[in-house]
Amino acid sequence: MNQGEVWIAKVPYSDVSDSIDSIADALTHTNKKKSRKRYVLVLGDIRPVLVISRDEYHKASSHSSIIACPITSNLQRVIKMYRTLKSAGFSGVTPGLLRITGSERIQAGLDRDSAIVILKVTTLNVNQLENKIGELPDTKVSSVVKIVKEFF
């Protein structure tokens, strides 16, 4: 995988932390030796993601992970993200930067207009990637990476 590629991936939800303990408790199992085993349950969604980690990282990495931004077809999120970022002082953000439409959408392999969810940057194991569906132009990827770097 390379920076700028769009993949279908299993992305964990970021807003279920309160219920994880109760779910884990419900899945606790007692075996014949009376020891308790915990089962890990990851709640998530299958969705497209944009790989933003650098190619050099992928080649040198021994832990088989990537850094990605989820992609959504809920374009209302674009407006919310834009307002949040603008109010936080991120001057280089425009709704057009976050959207994937027209020829970019086709190149990315997406079936509808979408948006890059840069506020939900995540690390994924390569095992969570299902298949590459396309890629975005270097100019768009560079702009997204620049904004993500501003977070740090």
Give the residue from 106, 90, 99 showing the smallest Cα distance to 146: 90
Task: Classify residue 106: in a domain, yes or no.
Answer: yes
- Average pLDDT over the chain reads 80
Query: What pTM was estimated for this model as a whole?
Result: 0.77
How many separate domains does the chain show?
1
Could you give the count of Cα atoms lying within 13 Å of 68 in the half-sphere of its Cβ?
29
Task: Classify residue 28: in a domain, yes or no.
Answer: no
Task: Classify residue 122: in a domain, yes or no.
Answer: yes
Which range marks the domain in which residue 86 is found? Answer: 5-11+45-151
Task: Classify residue 100: in a domain, yes or no.
Answer: yes
Task: Classify residue 76: in a domain, yes or no.
Answer: yes
Task: Classify residue 109: in a domain, yes or no.
Answer: yes
141 vs 22, more confident: 141
Q: Quote the percentage of the chain above a pLDDT of 70.
A: 75
Instruction: Identify the residue whose tokens are 């919310």.
Output: 80
- Mapping DSSP to helix (H, G, I), strand (E, B) and coil, where does residue 44 land? strand
The reported pLDDT for the residue numbered 31 is 47
Q: How confident is the model at residue 44 (pLDDT cuts 50, 70, 90)?
A: confident
At 139-150, the pLDDT tens digits run 999 989 988 887
141 vs 40, more confident: 141
Task: Classify residue 125: in a domain, yes or no.
Answer: yes
By the 8 A CB rule, do 87 and 27 touch?
no
Task: Classify residue 34: in a domain, yes or no.
Answer: no
At 59-107, the pLDDT tens digits run 776 668 899 999 999 888 778 877 887 888 877 677 677 889 999 999 9
94: CATH: 2.30.30.110
